[in-house]
Amino acid sequence: MRLNQIYQTLLEHFGKQHWWPAETRFEVIIGAILIQQTNWIAVERAIENLKSEGLLNPTSLATASLERVQRLIRNLNFYRQKARRIVNFSRHLVERHDGSLDKLFGKSIEEVRKELLSLDGIGKETADSILLYAADMLVFPVDAYTVKMCERLGCKDLRYEELRNLFERSLPEDLEVYKEFHALIDKLGKMYCKSKPRCSSCPLTDECGFKSS
Ligand code: SF4
């Protein structure tokens, strides 16, 4: 799988995606937790609700009541669980790092990743999205779109860490490439490489051995 070539092809086809769409690093993190098992339009609405009530900062969210946060994000799947998760993350940030993302991110990639993974509701994909898009660390998040594209391009049965290592070994050490490539793969997954793929119009059709009927 020629990842650099795939990146160039997707970039030429779709153009830059400018991810992550957020005004602050804290907003990136809250978005990364809320996006699980839902769509981005719903997350944007939930984030706007939190923002309009002045809760999109660590101190305010850490002290907000769960009922209030649940009400503001109730348009999301699993909103009760997600309200608890974003409040818990904020409390952790305030109690352990004085509410400072600089302090949270001021360690090695592995140390920050381990800390994020210890928190409720932050799995590998969410942790790695936070590391890349909020902490500006060179980590490639592997989501369901990435797994599907890789399987169809011939990399089957690789575990999360193996796929992540494959991208990190193959790509130049360039944050913009990491950020754009992850976003471009999601675009490909939403437009072409779906459960029922649209191979005849896909930009990767020359690269890809998998062909839908
Ligand atoms: S050619 Fe088909 S299977 Fe291959 S990446 Fe494109 S949509 Fe997916």
What mean pLDDT, rounded, does the chain reach? Answer: 96
Mutate to test the pocket of ligand 1, among 1, 155, 156, 204 (most ligand atoms within 8 A of CB): 204
Percentage of the chain lying above the pLDDT 90 cut = 93
- The number of beta carbons lying within 10 Å of the beta carbon of residue 17 is 18
CATH 3.40.50.10300 fits 25-133, yes or no: no
Q: Are 177 and 17 in contact (CB under 8 A)?
A: no
Residues in the chain: 213
Q: Which of 96-110, 119-133, 170-184, 196-210 has the least mean pLDDT?
A: 196-210
- Give the pLDDT of residue 210: 78
User: Is the entire prediction scored with pTM above 0.85?
Assistant: yes
For residue 139, report the distance from its CA to the centre of ligand 1, in Å. Answer: 25
- Greater confidence (213 vs 38) lies with 38
> Is residue 209's pLDDT more than 90?
no
